[in-house]
Amino acid sequence: MERDRNVAYKGTNNWYDWTKAFIIALLLALIVRKFFFSPIIVDGPSMQPTLYDRDQMIVNKFIYNFKKPERFDIVIFHASDKKDFIKRVIGLPGEHVAVKDNKLYINGEEVDQPFLRHNETTPIVYPIMTNDFSLEMLPGGHEVIPEGYVLVLGDNRSNSTDSRSIGLISMDQIVGKTNLVYWPFERMHFVKE
């Protein structure tokens, strides 16, 4: 009889251990997703030819706790309370940005945009056209990008809602950086600038 009680107790103890392990694993997964990494699905064509509609990516949420965004980082930011956008950082604090004749100028110097050219992960080749603009023409009318803000553009400049219409993006709006496409499998790759 004593042996039967020990077996029953061990069975109850096993169930308790499994439940405790499951709850701990669930809590760890929620913490990782909330503060460190989370998946995102690209919605729409605004980042073509680099990213395509329905590409699935991983967002690094903690990287900007240790460093500031760099030019050409691909970032996720809160465009509104209900909508996040994915765009490329083009202008940094203290810089003047302009596009003329489809060429990007930072502080009056032309800057190459290699991500707009065809490569092995961008099967469609089409010209990327950017209407001429300067920082002063954007919402806010700034002469230079203020501290704590960045200017973002979609890679598909003719079909992107970005800083040209919504203005500069505050660092507080940025969720994180992304550069890994993990699905669809045939497009799995690290995005280069």
State the pLDDT at residue 127.
59
User: The pTM is what?
Assistant: 0.77
Indicate which residue of 20, 38, 61, 87 is catalytic: 87
- The total number of structural domains in the chain stands at 2
> 4 and 60, same structural domain?
no
46 catalytic, yes or no?
yes
- 118 and 80 in a common domain: yes
The answer to whether 10 is a known catalytic residue is: no
pLDDT of residue 86: 94
Residues 99 and 144 both lie in one domain: yes
pLDDT at position 174, please? 93
What is the rounded distance in angstroms from the CA atom of residue 111 to the CA atom of residue 98? 10
Residues 74 and 169 in one domain: yes
Same domain, 3 and 81: no
Domain membership of residue 55 as a residue range: 37-190
CATH of the domain at 88: 2.10.109.10
Radius of gyration in angstroms for the set of CA atoms belonging to the chain, rounded to a whole number: 23
pLDDT of residue 106: 95
What pLDDT is attached to residue 32? 59
pLDDT of res. 164: 92
Task: Examine the domain organization and report whether 149 and 129 are in the same domain.
Answer: yes
Cβ-Cβ contacts under 8 Å for 42 (sequence gap 6 or more):
51, 52, 53, 54, 55, 56, 57, 86
| Dihedral of alpha carbons 66, 163, 134, 158, sign | positive
pLDDT tens over the chain, length 193 residues: 455 555 455 556 777 777 777 777 777 666 656 656 678 888 888 888 888 898 998 888 888 888 999 999 999 999 888 889 999 999 999 999 999 988 899 999 999 888 776 554 545 555 567 788 889 989 888 899 999 999 999 988 888 899 999 999 999 999 999 988 888 888 877 777 6
Please report the pLDDT score of residue 17 as a whole number. Answer: 75
| Together in a domain, 132 and 58 | yes
**25 and 86 part of one domain:** no
pLDDT value, residue 11: 57
Residues 26 and 5 in one domain: yes
Q: Given 20, 34, 46, 134, which residue is catalytic? A: 46
Query: In this structure, are 4 and 56 located in the same domain?
Result: no
